[in-house]
Structure 1
Amino acid sequence: MNNTSAPPDRMHSISSLFEPEFSQRLCEIFEQHIAFNQVLGLRIDSLEADRVKAHITMRPELIGHFTHQRLHGGVISATLDAMGGLAVMAATGARHMDEAPLARLARFGKLGTIDLRIDYLRPATGPRFHATAEVLRLGSRVASTRMEFKDAEGRLLSSGAGAYIVS
């Protein structure tokens, strides 16, 4: 699916410290050009230098335990991994605010996961889930992140930690 226009629900604005050109393009890359994020249904809610937020909505194709209607653990893991990467993108974008938006976006070409740990704390059931990530350290080559996955009531369901190659 290579859509060039924003999906209908992307027409709402997100909370962001970045200029609209950077925010809109980063959302487009994350939500439309990363095909697996489309499968997950990830939608960005907030882009800040130190924290990013997004959500997914429960759908039948994301269920891992059909009897209890629980979200598949792989969906949680993939969501937290994607959020860690998004947090690194935001932190990198904030670090280089002296550059034009497209130059900052070009910095993400080598971003990749080095290590990922997920702790599953509670079963994930419900209509909607929220994920957050923050960068603990942004080095010149490696970034470390912490992530959380919560239900619609704000209960912590899973937490994660990741390391990402930056350059």
Structure 2
Amino acid sequence: MRKDQESLLQFMQDTLANGTEDEEQILYLARQAIEYMRERKTAYIAGFLGLQGEYLEDGTYRFEVPITPFMLNQMKAAHGGITATLADSVMGAVASRSTGYKVVTTEINVHYLTPGTGDRLIATASVLRHGKTLCVCECKIHNEQGRLVLAGTGSFYLVEPR
């Protein structure tokens, strides 16, 4: 075992034995991210966020994620960058699913409306319009009490068929 691997193993063992509950949960999220990548061939961030998505009959896509210590800012609300990433992910998923193409984000616009507090965030997205090369989507993120946390739009370039 290399020295840096030994150091990492020692750090993880020490964190599990002596760390806070939040620190322990961060280690489990790292494991989850690696498992997501291996099993689903998706981005590591999907594993850190615990993205679980479903395509609904009305053509919208829905992600529900637990609010974890990894996501929190100093005020104990979901970090704005994390909620923007969630919006980008759910809009990218609906763009890809609706068009049959792999997509990349060309533009994203988000409005933060209330703090992302509670136990879960629920993100929904739908396609506003898609053409030959671009797909424009909208997204709303609520907490489990139904409060609107974020509203946004995004444009996605259609790269190649999936």
With normalisation by structure 2, the TM-score equals 0.71
Residue 66 (structure 2) aligns with? 57
Matched residues in 2 for 1:120 and 1:134: separation? 19
Residue 92 (structure 1) aligns with? 99
- 4+ residue stretches of structure 1 with deviation over 4 A? none
Residue 34 (structure 1) aligns with? 43
Match status 1:147 vs 2:156: no
1:42 Cα deviation from its structure 2 partner = 1.3
Residue 11 (structure 1) aligns with? none
Match status 1:78 vs 2:78: no
Deviations 1:95-116 (A, max 9, x none): xxxxxxxxxxxx31xx110000
Higher helix proportion:
2
Matched residues in 2 for 1:39 and 1:129: separation? 14
Matched residues in 1 for 2:110 and 2:70: separation? 21
Bigger relative CO (Cα 8 Å, ≥ 6 apart) = 1
Matched residues in 1 for 2:58 and 2:114: separation? 29
Residue 131 (structure 1) aligns with? 123
Gaps of 5+ in 1: 5-27, 94-106
Residue 20 (structure 1) aligns with? none
| Identical-pair percentage | 26
Matched residues in 2 for 1:156 and 1:49: separation? 20
Gaps of 5+ in 2: 1-33
1:48 Cα deviation from its structure 2 partner = 4.4
With normalisation by structure 1, the TM-score equals 0.69
1:47 Cα deviation from its structure 2 partner = 4.3
**Which amino acid in 2 is paired with 1:85?**
G
Residue 19 (structure 2) aligns with? none
Equivalent pairs counted in the alignment come to 124
Deviations 1:60-112 (A, max 9, x none): 111012xx41110111000000111001012113xxxxxxxxxxxxx31xx11
Decide which of 55, 67, 76 is 1:69's aligned counterpart: 76
1:71 aligned counterpart, secondary structure: coil
Q: Let me know the Cα RMSD of the aligned residues.
A: 1.5
**Which amino acid in 2 is paired with 1:73?**
G
